[in-house]
Amino acid sequence: MSIKVYEAYRVAKGTDPFDVLWDIKRRGQAAAKAKLTTVFRDVLDGRSHTTHLRLREQDALFAAWVREHREPDEKINVLRLYSNWAREDCPEELKTEEGVYAVGNEEVLTASKRAAEGGAKPGAFDVDDWMHKKYGEQLTRLERDTWALDVAVTMRRYKNRFYLIPYCDRACLLGGILDFMGNDERLEEFGYWNNTDPPEELSSQQWAWRGTVWRHLTEHEKWTEFVTIDIVSWTGWSDVSPMMDMLREREATGL
């Protein structure tokens, strides 16, 4: 049977595994809120709307440039061509800030059921509603995108030792928020796979023992026996939403 548990940890002996889990949850939620706050600020302060408008203009200019410089039946690598165009021919005033999420005010206001009339700008409640809705929409689709925000850690036991597997999509907005687990002295890296060579720093005996552990834990009857700690979930959105912090900050500064 093929086993691929690329990211996993074993709790050190003498360590309360639940203390470790609570710390992971606390630190993970703080990291999630920090990343979500960046998007929240960009939308609330208008940078996302500006980026959205500039990208729309870029698309129109690029399409016109392609029609002018390429034959209709010419095969082209659109992504590479666009990258070169954006670097060399895109007007300076249409270039965008790196890392800013692009969304128009109309989409945000529609998500919160407010009419986008007269150039209305979204407030904190609108942005929060929109982010929560984007998260919820992702949960209804098989394809994962940047709003696949579910983050969790599972814990399993074998011979009185505890094993953790983190779940966090690296391609989503929260990618990497659990990387701190690799630096926690209470955790030992304990991944295992049997489709390629093992890490050079592990002896054959150490690797074989990992295989024994994960073969046991991945048996059909055993795989469902675990404890899950949700760090980010749709129903627990209020735990990581930046909205209340943003409202308190703006009340304090008068912005």
Nearest to 36 by CA among 167, 231, 228, 181: 231
Which is nearest to 186 in space by CA: 7, 2, 9, 1?
9
Crossing angle for the helix pair 243-253 and 124-139, to the nearest 10 degrees: 170
Tell me what the mean pLDDT of segment 103-111 comes to.
89
Residue 30 has pLDDT above 60, yes or no: yes
- Percent of the chain residues past pLDDT 90, beyond the cut: 64
**Rounded-to-integer distance, Cα 222 and Cα 211, Å:** 15
Contacts of 162 (CB under 8 A, 6+ apart): 10, 11, 17, 155, 156
Lowest mean pLDDT: which of 17-21, 172-176, 192-196? 192-196
Q: What is the mean pLDDT of the chain?
A: 90
Least confident of 28-37, 65-74, 80-89: 65-74
Retrieve residue 71's tokens: 């034959």
8-12-17-23 Cα dihedral, nearest 10 degrees: -80
Is the separation of the CB atoms in 7 and 193 below 8 Å? Answer: no
> Are 40 and 127 a contacting pair, CB within 8 Å?
yes
Instruction: Give me the mean pLDDT over the 67-76 stretch.
Output: 72
Q: What is the pLDDT of residue 42?
A: 95
> Which pLDDT score is estimated for 83?
82
pLDDT in tens, 185-213: 999 999 999 888 888 899 999 999 999 99
Token pair listed for 190: 């304990």
Q: Which of 12-21, 65-74, 147-156 has the lowest mean pLDDT?
A: 65-74
Asked whether the predicted pLDDT for residue 117 surpasses 60, the reply is: no
The pLDDT of residue 73 is above 90: no
- Please state the rounded mean pLDDT for residues 123-137: 94
- The DSSP letter of residue 75 is -
What average pLDDT does this structure show over 63-77? 76
Q: Cα-Cα-Cα-Cα dihedral of 215, 216, 219, 225, to 10°? A: -130
What pTM, to 2 d.p., does this model score?
A: 0.84
CA end-to-end span of the chain: 59
Report residue 232: phi and psi, to 5°. -130, 125
- Residue 191, C-beta contacts closer than 8 angstroms, at least 6 positions apart: 5, 6, 7, 8, 210
Model confidence over 134-171: pLDDT tens digits?
999 999 998 889 999 999 999 999 999 999 999 999 99
pLDDT confidence tier of residue 66, bands split at 50, 70 and 90: confident
Tell me if 162 sits within 8 A of 14, measured CB to CB: no
Question: How many helical (H) and strand (E) elements, i.e. helices and strands, does the chain have?
Answer: 8, 7
